[in-house]
Amino acid sequence: MKNCITLILHWYQEHKRELPWRKDIDPYHIWISEIMLQQTRIEAVIDYYNRFMERVPDIKSLSEISEDELLKLWEGLGYYSRARNLKKAAIHIMEKYDGIFPNHYEDILSLPGIGEYTAGAISSICFQLPHASIDGNVMRVYSRIHNLDIDVRDLKVKKDIKKKIEEILPKESGDFNQGIMELGEVLCLPNGVPKCNECPLKYHCLAHLNGCETLIPRKTSKKEKLEEEYTLFLMKCGKKYALHKREDGLLKNMWEFPNQKGFLTYDEVIEIIPGIQKIELGITNTHIFTHKKWFMNSYYLETNHELSEYQWYTLEEIQESHALPTAFRPFFEYLQKK
């Protein structure tokens, strides 16, 4: 691995992508981008990041923004607890560190929503501290360089790799962390054939030299996702539509269209919802979360009064100030077109 460090640093200097959060090493910029990048592709994050920075340019403004507006800015990125944790962490930084982002690894790690990966990224990129940030890309590159038949989902393996990399980290720890990660993303591909011919490590990488790069790391079968069925009620009264805040479970405190578990028939819907004047079948949608899969049917309903257990808004009001999770967006778009 030691032989590869300089090669990775040079490759990164020549090939690193121009990204808005790479214009400087301001920890606020790196922090927001790292949280947005979790589970989301770089290309998809750029617009969100720019929009976010325009409205919430610093820690103080993040600590003061209303939750509704914050979630609206986050709408579509998913994992809304991340946005809430950003605000919690910003308040904590204002109170405990006078609004200055902490520059010690343990302090960074103690902030809400920041785990070892993000703490490693921020502390190495912004403060050149000797910490590794280990994600799937790093695990893959590392295991191929050493031709290790490992299970990348094993947390102990991850810990071992972190420790080994930290023993040899160069003083440019931030560039190294970003370099190895980016090399994993663009050359040492997870699916399909890695681009070894273009890789600066091709003469050192044991998996490549042994011709087994596609077999390393070991692929473990993914856990089956839990499947759930829902019926959504797309209710209209006059010009307003019914929304509801989820009380618990997945997407807690997020806006949703009223719904019930299971696929309901016409008769069951008529029995549940009072005052229906019109009912027709709406669209269906399937949404995949990390551990769950939702199958959703819907009914379009017109009612003769606004049922008091829901809140009622026009489509414009929903669009402007209510963050609807991606799972429900197709139903909103269906209502817009209707």
Of the pair 29, 208, the CB lying nearest ligand SF4 is at 208
Pick one of 65, 122, 138, 207: the residue that binds ligand SF4 (CB under 6 A): 207
Phi and psi of 50, rounded to 5°?
Answer: -60, -45
Pick one of 196, 270, 307, 315: the residue that binds ligand SF4 (CB under 6 A): 196
Q: How many residues does the chain have?
A: 338
Ranges within 136-175 binding ligand SF4 (CB under 6 A): 141, 144-145
If binding is defined by CB under 6 A, does position 187 make contact with ligand SF4?
yes
Stretch that binds ligand SF4, among 169-177, 196-204, 284-292, 303-311 (CB under 6 A): 196-204
Pick one of 199, 237, 242, 296: the residue that binds ligand SF4 (CB under 6 A): 199
Q: What is the largest CA-CA distance in the chain?
A: 74
Query: Please, what is the minimum distance in Å from the beta carbon of residue 207 to ligand SF4?
Result: 5
Specify whether 316 is catalytic. no
328/295 Cα distance (integer angstroms): 11
149: which residues sit within 8 A by CB, 6+ positions away?
A: 143, 215, 216, 217, 218
Active-site hit among 14, 34, 227, 317: 34
The enclosing H or E element of 235 equals strand 226-237
Pick one of 108, 138, 188, 234: the residue that binds ligand SF4 (CB under 6 A): 188
Upper half-sphere CA count for residue 114 (Cβ side, 13 Å): 31
Query: Please, what is the minimum distance in Å from the beta carbon of residue 223 to ligand SF4?
Result: 27
Active site residues: 34
Site of interaction with ligand SF4 (CB under 6 A): 141, 144-145, 187-188, 194-196, 199, 201-202, 205, 207-208, 213
